[in-house]
Structure 1
Amino acid sequence: MHKSSELTTQGTIATTDTLAALVSIGERIGLLTDMNTQVATATEQQSTVVNEINQNNVDINGITLCTADTAEGLAWRHGWGV
């Protein structure tokens, strides 16, 4: 009988330890999920910024070409051919 009681106590302790470990694992999974969400959000924001920078570069290039064409046209009109 004493052996049975001891085994029951050990089983209860093991169950309690297992439950505590599972709770800890669940909490850590929650933290990882939060971090993953933050990384995904930051990545999306960075992608948006990169796209805006690329569009700005395209716009600047267009303005530069237009300015160069205008300067060349003015040079030809004033006899300063380029």
Structure 2
Amino acid sequence: MSMARRKPVELDEELWHCYEVISGSAEFISALLESGGSLEFYISAFLTDPCGFSFDHEFMAAFAKTGLGVSVELYPEPGSGY
């Protein structure tokens, strides 16, 4: 799957990298969520071929502990019939 950095990446690996970057801000994230705010990773994927992805249990558990959401929108290539 091609991402914003214009190189093929695995979605779960890229999100793990983002998680590692923001993990130092756990107190800020917790305060934001406790005050009624929300925070999520928003992903737009522009597809040229059918594909899929999955998140393993370790990934899901790590994100669940932080309170972060993950939202994914998939956009098929125009005219692809999808």
Band the TM-score falls in, shorter-chain normalisation: under 0.3
TM-score, reference length from structure 1: 0.20
Structure with a larger share of its residues in strand: 2
- TM-score (normalised: structure 2): 0.20
